Structure 1
Amino acid sequence: MRWLIIIFATALSFSAWALDLQQAKQQGLVGEQLNGLVGIVLEKSDVGAVANDINRKRLASYQDIAKRTGTSLTVVQTRAGQYNIERTQAGHYIQLADGSWRKK
């Protein structure tokens, strides 16, 4: 439960760029990955820059959480990935363990 609260608080901190992320997800350009980062589903225009910016900020937050909680970055990313995938809206993409993409 503690992890969900931490990850939820982190997710709220992403609101500054959430509109760009939402647009990219709605257009099927990016999806949630198991490692807590977003991945490019369909390469188009600025999607790489948007994904890189989101992932840079997420990774910084995950590193901070790992440091504050004394947990490894891998564990934090895995739990964040699970949480983000669970919260993914129907019709948006998630990445499966084999690396393929599917709509939720």
Structure 2
Amino acid sequence: MTLFSRVGALILALCLALPAMAMSLDEAKNALEPAKSQGLVGETPSGYLAAVDSGQRASDIVSAINDARREAYKKIAEKHGIAVTKVETVAGKKAVDKTPAGQYIRVNGSWVKK
């Protein structure tokens, strides 16, 4: 096997392994409340989560949950014939309002412990 073939095989193996390493939505849902309580992730007015902590676990949770939220917002917007941005804004306000004391929310671009 040539060096080119070996590198190609390695790249292919890594690409196939990446989806398996991604956090599933169920795993993210189970990890969300503990991550919020630990200050790793927080709610934003945009309707999406963001990582407060720069760790990979926080990023994985945020990514999986936000992907699901994005799809849900899209379906709601289509059902009601409104812009997705409107759904995101309403959802963001509700999420921020419902965030319990001691957890993080983004206010004017900065993280604030509620």
Task: Name the TM-score, length of structure 2 as normaliser.
Answer: 0.74
Tell whether the 8 Å contact from 2:28 to 2:60 is kept in structure 1 after alignment.
Answer: no
1:52-95 deviation line (CA, Å, top 9, x unaligned): 00000001000000000111000000000000001001000000
Matched residues in 1 for 2:92 and 2:98: separation?
10
Q: Which ranges in structure 2 are unaligned for 5 or more consecutive residues?
A: 1-24
Give the equivalent residue in structure 2 for 1:42.
Answer: 53
Task: Name the TM-score, length of structure 1 as normaliser.
Answer: 0.80
Q: What is the identity percentage for the equivalent residue pairs of Structure 1 and Structure 2?
A: 37
Q: 1:23 aligns with which of 34, 51, 59?
A: 34
List structure 1 runs of 4+ shifted beyond 6 angstroms: none
Higher relative contact order (CA 8 A, sep 6+): 1
SS in 2 for 1:94: strand
Matched residues in 1 for 2:73 and 2:44: separation?
14
Q: Which ranges in structure 1 are unaligned for 5 or more consecutive residues?
A: 1-13
Structure with max Cα Rg: 2
